[in-house]
Chains A and B, each alone.
Chain A
Amino acid sequence: MHIPDGFLDLWICAVMYLISAMVIGYSAKKLKDKLDAPQVSLIGIVGAGIFAAQMLNWPIPGGTSAHFVGGAIAGILLGPYAGCLSMVSVLTIQCLVFGDGGITALGANIFNMAIVDVFVGYGIFKALRRYNQDVSLFLAGWIGIWLGALAAGVEIGVSSIFAYGLMTTVLVMGIWHGALGFIEGIITMLAVRYVLIKQPDFVPLPKEVRG
């Protein structure tokens, strides 16, 4: 889902950079002077885990597949603001050190995976956890990545290189990532459960920055 250089029209690159910069700035402002000592290392640890998990491409027969993205996990474990910053660090390193995702498309990739996936995933978890925690985790992972993929579909679909094929790009991204998102949902559920069970001393971020 990492959009490379050359896919997006310049204006859409600029718009996505602007929106992403505003959300990153707002998130940093919400977090400033809010983290206590036990929480300082959380952003990096969650980011490193997501980076490693993103390297594992799912080998699905037929070949059309994806890999774990993890925005929802970041949002749920860290809250949306720190989760967003954690994902931004992952995506930026992937772009600059590994050439995964273009520098011109970084604003769009951040929007899709560090903003939509994180905030939607967090919102779904928060709204539904009182009914059933496992189901809320699954839906957070699934719908978070699905909407992120739809956003990517819109961004490429309004670009000239894709012949303005908005219907096609949204359909392909929506249908495939809607199906593949099941796996994201299951991993999200298992991973958050693992952290909550295996890290009984897990100190979540302060309430005021968890949204």
Chain B
Amino acid sequence: MGMEVKEGLRKWRKVLIVISVMILVSPFFAWAAEVVGYAEPLENVAEHLGAMEHEYAIISGLIPDYTIPGANPYASAIVAGIVGCLIVLGLGLIMGKVLQRK
């Protein structure tokens, strides 16, 4: 990682702290979503028109639905948050490097 990237990340320290806090509170939101019976309008209209049974996943991913199979779902949420943020950050840094002024 180049110096300028490290410098860029350092400048964004406060935002990185906010991101860490969001990851830390994600289990609470996962729990609260369960309590209220969270469902998005897309799922509701799919239910209404009988499309829900046609839903499937070709790729369920390493951490399907942000839950590590067999692990505690709330701890999973934190791991999923860390893994997801790091990959997105890395992907963004690669894109930035590729697009950087030559």
Considering only residues 28-68 of chain A, those with a C-beta below 8 Å from chain B are 28, 31-49, 51-53, 55-57, 59-66
Contact A65 B87 (CB under 8 A): no
Specify which of A40, A64, A99 is in contact with B44 (CB 8 Å cutoff).
A64
Any B CB within 8 A of the CB of A149? yes
Chain A: number of interface residues, binned into ranges: 35 or more
Q: Which of B25, B29, B77 counts the most chain A CB atoms within 10 A?
A: B29
Chain B: number of interface residues, binned into ranges: 35 or more
Interface of chain B: mostly helix, strand, loop or mixed: helix
Contact B88 A42 (CB under 8 A): no
Contact A162 B60 (CB under 8 A): no
Q: Which of B29, B81, B96 counts the most chain A CB atoms within 10 A?
A: B96
Question: Inside 8 A of A56's CB, which chain B residues have their CB?
Answer: 22, 25-26, 29
Question: Inside 8 A of B70's CB, which chain A residues have their CB?
Answer: none
Give the A-B contact count at a CB cut-off of 8 A. Answer: 237
Q: Please report B residues at the A interface, Cβ cutoff 8 Å.
A: 2, 4-5, 7-9, 11-12, 14-16, 18-19, 22-23, 25-26, 29-30, 32-33, 35-42, 44-46, 48-51, 54-66, 77, 80-81, 83-93, 95-97, 99-102
Question: What are 16 A-B interface contacts by the 8 Å CB criterion?
Answer: A4-B55, A5-B55, A6-B56, A7-B51, A36-B100, A44-B90, A44-B92, A55-B23, A56-B25, A64-B40, A100-B65, A156-B46, A172-B45, A173-B45, A199-B14, A199-B15
